[in-house]
Structure 1
Amino acid sequence: MAVEQIVTDPALIPALETCSNTLGQAHQLIDLLEKSIQSPPSNPQDALQDAYRQQRHVYSLLAQLRGLNREAILNVRSTKQSTAEARQEIDRLHLQLQNLYYEQRHLSGEIAACESYDHSHLSLPLIPVEEFIALHPEHADSDEHELTVARINHEHAEREKLEQARQELLKKKQALIAENKKRKEDLASLDQDLERFIDAAKPIQKIFEKVYVPVTRKVNGEEK
């Protein structure tokens, strides 16, 4: 395959053309010198001048070729720098893409965990939807989320009412217990007073037993 078919960069084509031209002129110089050696010319001075002119032309082409070579090297360095910067940018973008993939997998996992999570409100003994809508018709057109929140709030309010009623009943119970305790204490005190009264009345009872004499009489032949 020809070099022209391999190298297609427009910046290198002038260097290839100059190189080819220099090579051709160098071959002409060599041919000219070989011809002068093999068959000496009748006027050696003219042949030598022709060789000098051809040599200067070759040197001129070589100088152009060196300039083009220097320019090509600078272009290559610039291309390498641009390629390195582009590679770094690609690596940066690739890293960002990998981070996005990682974040996507993480969020997908979080979404799946949320969807499969056993939410506590699912176990709440909420009233049926139909009964709730009958009590609160303003939620008839609410979506599922709003309806669930409203039902939970309703359940919370009902439980607060029940808790308030329980607290009131508990206060009444404590009051009744305190009242019953006081009555028991009063009855116990009354029993003690009664026992003391009975103990104090025993001597009087004995006096009455001594003074009292039963009187008997006959009625229809029987003693009464």
Structure 2
Amino acid sequence: MAIDEIVTDENLLKVLDASRDARVQALSLVDQIAATGPIENASPEALQEASKQQKLLITNLAQLRGLHRAAYFAARQTKSQTSEARQEVDRLHLQLQNLYYEQRHLQGEILACESYDHTYQQLPLIPLEEFLALKPEHANDDEVTLMIARIDHERSEREALEQKRMELLKRKQKLIADNKKRKEDLANLDKELEKFIDAAKPIQKLLDKNV
């Protein structure tokens, strides 16, 4: 593959062109000096032409150095930009990895929440069909809203039953207290009756004697 097909940067292409021109100029100068022979035997015209070619070569070399310097600074700038771009890519890649790990963590948390055996799932709720028969306004509710409504219904039912139980308990306690009082009254009545019987015994004896 030719070097022109490998190098595509404009500054480097200028360096290659100037390098080729300088090389051709140098070879031409070498050939001319070789053809002229020793300097002391060279004609003034040949020496003048050689001097002219040498000046052109120096000019080409100066241009080549300038282009080389420009290409060097351009390459250094490109290298710096490439380094900054690589750092940005590395930063974005690290950020992407962090997001990936966070996504996996959140997916794990979601799975744990979905598989968690919550207490409400163990509540002895009435069957869904029976609930909807009692509360038809919830027939089109979503799953979450429907579950909340069933739990609220169960809570209200239990509160009503608890209130009724407390009322029955109060009635029971009142009946127990009434029964206790009646027992005490009966016990007192028995004592009074025994006292009455004991007090009536002398009179009974007296009556028995007179009969």
TM-score, scaled relative to structure 2: 0.84
* Amino acid across the alignment from 1:147: L
- Segment of structure 1 superposing worse, 19-28 or 136-145: 136-145
Q: 1:93 matched to which residue of 2?
A: 92
Does 2:8 match 1:12?
no
CA contact (8 A) 1:25 1:58 kept: yes
Note if 1:34 corresponds to 2:30.
no
Quick one: distance in 2 between partners of 1:96 and 1:111? Answer: 22
Match of 1:165 in 2: 164
C-alpha contact 2:11 2:67 (8 A) present in aligned 1: no
Identity of aligned residues (%): 55
Aligned partners of 2:64 and 2:179: how far apart in 1?
123
Could you tell me how far 1:95 is from its partner in structure 2?
A: 1.3
Which amino acid letter does the alignment assign opposite residue 144 of structure 1?
Answer: E
Native 8 Å contact 1:41 1:47 kept in 2: no
Counterpart Cα distance in 2 of 1:14 and 1:69: 9
Shift of 1:180: 3.6
Q: Which has the higher contact order (CA 8 A, sep 6+)?
A: 2
Aligned residues: 211
Residue in structure 1 matched with residue 117 of structure 2 by the alignment:
118
Q: Shift of residue 60 of structure 1?
A: 0.8
Which residue in 2 is equivalent to 1:153? 152
For 1:214 and 1:128, the matched residues in 2 are separated by 86
Deviation at 1:183, TM superposition (A): 4.0
* Unpaired stretches in structure 1, ≥5 consecutive residues: 216-224
- Partners of 2:29 and 2:54 within 8 A in 1: yes
Shift of 1:186: 4.5
Aligned residue type for 1:122: Q
- Residues in 1 aligned to 2:137 and 2:42: alpha-carbon distance in whole angstroms: 124
Cα distance in 2 for partners of 1:102, 1:171 equals: 61
Give me the whole-angstrom Cα distance separating, in 1, the residues matched to 2:94 and 2:59. 52
Distance (whole Å) between structure 1 residues aligned to residue 190 and residue 209 of structure 2: 33
1:219 maps to none
Query: For the structure 1 residues 91 and 42, does the alpha-carbon distance in structure 2 shift closer, same or farther, using more than 3 Å as the test?
Result: closer
CA distance in 2, matches of 1:211, 1:199: 15
- Preserved contact between residue 7 and residue 13 of structure 1 (Cα < 8 Å): yes
Q: Check whether the contact 1:22–1:62 (CA below 8 A) recurs between aligned residues.
A: yes
Distance in 1 (alpha carbons) for counterparts of 2:184 and 2:33: 149
Q: Secondary structure of the equivalent of 1:8?
A: coil
CA offsets 1:153-202 (integer angstroms, 9 cap, x no match): 1111111101111122222233333334444444555556666x36973x
Q: After TM superposition, what 4+ stretches of structure 1 lie above 6 angstroms from structure 2?
A: none
Q: Which has the larger radius of gyration?
A: 1
Match of 2:68, SS state, is helix
Alignment-derived partner of residue 107 in structure 2: 108
SS of 2:117's partner is coil
2:79 alignment partner in structure 1: 80
Structure (1 or 2) with the greater helix fraction = 2
Give the Cα separation in 2 of the matches to 1:114 and 1:42.
101
Unmatched runs of 5 consecutive residues or more in structure 2: none
Give the aligned CA root-mean-square deviation in angstroms.
2.7
TM-score of the two chains, using structure 1 as the length reference: 0.79
